[in-house]
């Protein structure tokens, strides 16, 4: 990985490509936990919150610890106020002391990876709480959206074990009664892309470091391996394209840079119903660099941080 990829004084825009096979990448609680979809186009959706949760879980697993500077503020089933109270205890501030908010915010940024990365709202009851202020994070993600429409499915499942002694086997069943029937929501296959951004000015404010950025790239590549679940089927990162600008303010619009990637991801001509990443064309690093040169995009470098899947028929390879 080149040094400029971890340079927090440069603006970075990136495209994350991932897929799901026979699983639910992000259930919608308002729709019976079915996979999220755009109801007008039936494209699949994965929220930014879902992606950030995976990053948090990965960082906590590989770097976390009570005394680590990689602690996680938004923990699974954790109490946010406990972390804010700890900040007040460390800086010797009293509950409700409004004069200590800035110092508490700096301590939270220094000790909690997700606060200095994604930002957080850490307010408390005015005059009677552990307020640590608000932080606008340098790293932001969009929703993931599938390349093609998906068809969410519900599959019936059964459990042969009985839940308790009050359940009796059927008289015509010489083995065991079906204890419970349920349903499992899945997407047979979907290839998704999400966009992300790093703002150097905000990184300076939260003290987001080059080490933090390197860990973030690592998280995007490997977080799927730490997030295995029967409900999610098989999910994997298929590509990660990072555009690095020479200037902290950017040398080209993110929309223009992203279009180099999105315009070149498509199904193979002989595929009507994709069922794996091998049914798609993914652009290679050399192809994208060539397209950028032809379009006179200057002072922006491209790096592909994930090797294209084996046997994927990519253009430009």
Looking from the CA of 290 toward its CB, the CA atoms found within 13 Å total: 9
Whether the Cβ atoms of residue 60 and residue 78 lie closer than 8 Å to each other: no
- Check residue 316 and give its pLDDT: 46
User: For the residues 146-162, what does the mean pLDDT come to?
Assistant: 88
Structure tokens at 191: 């290839």
- String of DSSP letters for 31-65: GTTEEPB-TTT-EEEE-HHHHHHHHHHHHHHHH--
pLDDT tens per residue, range 97-141:
889 999 999 999 999 999 999 999 999 777 778 999 999 999 999
Distance in angstroms (rounded) separating the CA atoms of residues 301 and 295: 13
- Residue-range domain boundaries for the chain: 1-47+188-317, 61-136, 149-184
Predicted pLDDT at 77: 85
Q: According to the model, what pLDDT value does residue 180 have?
A: 74
Mean pLDDT of 162-178: 61
Give the integer Cα–Cα distance in Å for 197 and 201. Answer: 12
pLDDT of 317 strictly over 50: no
pLDDT band at 26 (very low <50, low <70, confident <90, very high): very high
Q: How confident is the model at residue 182 (pLDDT cuts 50, 70, 90)?
A: confident
Question: What is the pLDDT averaged over residues 204-216?
Answer: 97
Dist. CA 39–CA 29, nearest whole Å: 15
């Amino acid at each position: 990985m080149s040094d400029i990829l971890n340079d927090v004084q440069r603006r970075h825009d990136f495209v994350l490509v991932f897929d799901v096979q026979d699983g639910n990448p992000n259930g919608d609680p308002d729709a019976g936990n079915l996979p999220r979809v755009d109801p007008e186009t039936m494209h699949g959706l994965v929220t930014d919150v879902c992606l950030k949760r995976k990053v948090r879980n990965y960082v906590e697993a590989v770097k976390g610890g009570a005394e680590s500077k990689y602690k996680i503020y938004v923990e699974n089933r954790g109490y946010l106020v406990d972390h804010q109270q700890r900040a007040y205890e460390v800086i010797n501030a009293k509950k409700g002391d409004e004069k200590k908010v800035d110092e508490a915010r700096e301590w939270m940024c220094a000790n909690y990876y997700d606060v200095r990365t994604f930002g957080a709202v850490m307010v408390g009851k005015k005059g009677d709480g552990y307020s640590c202020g608000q932080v606008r994070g340098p790293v932001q993600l969009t929703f993931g959206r599938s390349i093609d429409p998906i068809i969410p499915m519900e599959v019936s499942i059964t459990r042969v074990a009985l839940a308790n002694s009050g359940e009796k086997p059927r008289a015509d069943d010489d083995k065991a009664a079906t204890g419970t029937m349920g349903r499992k929501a899945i997407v047979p296959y979907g290839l998704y892309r999400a966009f992300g951004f790093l703002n150097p000015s905000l990184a300076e404010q939260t003290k987001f470091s080059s080490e933090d950025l390197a860990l973030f790239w690592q998280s995007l590549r490997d977080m799927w391996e730490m997030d295995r679940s029967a409900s999610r089927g098989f999910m994997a990162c298929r590509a990660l394209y990072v555009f690095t600008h020479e200037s902290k303010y950017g040398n080209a619009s993110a929309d223009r840079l992203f279009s180099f990637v999105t315009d070149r991801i498509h199904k193979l001509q002989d595929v009507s119903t994709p069922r794996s990443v091998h049914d798609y064309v993914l652009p290679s690093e050399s192809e994208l660099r060539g397209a950028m040169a032809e379009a006179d995009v200057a002072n922006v470098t491209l790096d592909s941080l994930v090797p294209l899947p084996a046997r994927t028929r990519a253009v430009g390879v």
